[in-house]
Structure 1
Amino acid sequence: MGKVIIFGNTQTAELALYYLQNDSEHEVAGFTVESQYIHEPEFHGFPLVPFETVEQQFPPLEYLFFAPMTAAGMNQVRARVYEQGLAKGYQYISYISSHATVLTDKIGENCFILEDNTIQPYVQIGNNCVLWSGNHIGHHSRIGNHVFFTSQVVLSGNCQVNDYCFFGVNATIRDSSVIGEGTFVSMGASVMKQRTEPWSVWKGSAAEKSTISSKDLKF
């Protein structure tokens, strides 16, 4: 347990503050974001300092770091900030809701796991992942780094999810599937195939591969 610096000054950072204050033993000490996005010196009454120089005011040996960001740029923006925080020397926390059912201890750092998630035995989750509320993560599934689950996603058992994937609300993935790096599964899609190609987009029920690349998506 320790003092934590949260990256961001948007609604996601605001939610992180709420969860850490109400369902965590960590103490929030301040916020940080790139200087171009700072318009006030404080956020929710805490100091808001430039990320470029955050280690000067909040030394890595004294403070922990948390960057629970959105899936912008197919999670690559969050991955960049995560890597920059590591380069500055920070150790990351993860937030796992006390209202989630978590039956594994194989969860990496800088993960943001909200209420009502069911994570079954033998699941492995990498670093820098977000699981919004109400997902089902099936037994023996392996989730890579920089992955984003929205809500009510069903990932069936024994799946392999590679880095940078995104799953829209109510998406369903069949058992033993291999989800290629950077796959975008749209809202309500049902992926019935055993394997998806890297940086592909899947939509519909049963989902079919789109003609565009997930790298071209703007959200």
Structure 2
Amino acid sequence: MSNAGKVLIIGAGEFADIAYEYFSHDSEYDVVGFAVEAEFLDVSEKFGLPVIALEDAPARFDPATVSAHVAITSTKLNQVRERLVGVAREMGYRLANYVSSKAFVWRTASLGENVFIFEHNVVQHGVTIGDGVVLWSGNHIGHQSHIEEFCFLSSHVVVSGYCRIGRRSFIGVNTCLADHVEIGSDSFVAIGSAVNKSFPEAGLLLTGHFAEASRVSSYRYCKVKP
């Protein structure tokens, strides 16, 4: 048994399969099984491990000796992951994080619980990552930015410095945020969007990436002579 101990994966879909692979081969945790809500229980085994009803989990896997990780994607704008984290906490489980050995997380960054950080993420100085956040592969989280609870950032998202992304927001692949941008809670930022100003209202769908020549030249903007 590894130093970190045992972890129960809550979920049995594709993300749970990925979580099993990553926890098993790139963490100090040993996966002991999977749990799903009883109404979704349709298999009894996965990777040679038991799949059980979540309602029965404390009796099968003692929260005093087993941690849990809720491996659910952005289903229903991240609300399912948030709810199941709450269920796991009510059952007494400590929530485990996974941080890839190939990710860069600076020492002054702060991580919540049930965080999953894939390979090639860069998390810079002073960043705060809330509970239940998923950072898929290859994102850049700039210094002093705050990713609130249960956000899901797809691959190759660039979050510049001093940004704030509101709770449960989804950020699509190849999105970029300028410095000091605030995104409200429950936002959905579509693939390839360029966000150069704040949208603090909750529940917005943000989309678009438009480039056009400004009346201000690059020389003037950068305060240099041609």
- SS of the residue corresponding to residue 71 of structure 2 reads coil
Which of 132, 137, 141 does residue 137 from structure 1 map onto?
141
Q: Which runs of 4+ in 1 moved over 3 A?
A: none
1:137 and 1:155 in contact (8 A); partners too: yes
Q: What CA deviation, in whole Å up to 9, does each residue of 1:1-50 have, x standing for no partner? A: 11110011111111001001110111111110012222221111101110
Normalising by structure 1, report the TM-score.
0.92
**Length, aligned pairs only:** 207
Matches for 1:1-219 after TM superposition, within 5 Å: 1-103=4-106, 104-206=108-210
- Aligned-pair Cα RMSD in Å: 1.2
How big is the shift at 1:105? Answer: 3.9
Q: Max radius of gyration: which structure?
A: 2
| Contact kept in structure 2, 1:114 and 1:132, CA below 8 Å | yes
Unaligned segments of structure 2, at least 5 residues: 212-226
DSSP 3-state at the match of 1:197: coil
Q: Is the 8 A contact 1:145 1:163 kept in 2?
A: yes
Would you say the 8 A contact 1:106–1:124 is kept in 2?
Answer: yes
Q: Percent identical across equivalent pairs?
A: 39
- 8 Å CA contact 1:192–1:206 kept in 2: the answer is no
Return the alpha-carbon distance in structure 1 between the equivalents of residues 114 and 193 of structure 2.
27
Mapped to 2, the partners of 1:163 and 1:10 lie a distance apart of 23
Cα distance in 1, alignment partners of residues 10 and 109 from structure 2: 25
- Structure 2 partner of 1:216: none
- Structure 1: distance between partners of 2:25 and 2:92: 27
Q: Is the 8 A contact 1:138 1:155 kept in 2?
A: yes
- Output the CA distance in 2 between the equivalents of 1:162 and 1:122: 17
Contact kept in structure 2, 1:152 and 1:170, CA below 8 Å: yes
Contact kept in structure 2, 1:71 and 1:148, CA below 8 Å? yes
Deviations 1:146-180 (A, max 9, x none): 10001000111100112111100001111101111
Contact 2:109 2:123 in 1 (8 A): no
Matched to 2:55, the amino acid is E
Distance in 2 between the 1:126 and 1:40 partners? 32
Cα contact 2:72–2:81 (8 A) shared by 1: yes
> Which digits, 9 at most, give the CA deviation of each residue in 1:108-138, with x for residues without a partner?
1101100000111110111000000000100
Structure 1 stretches lacking a partner, 5+ long: 208-219
Letter in 1 for 2:93: Y
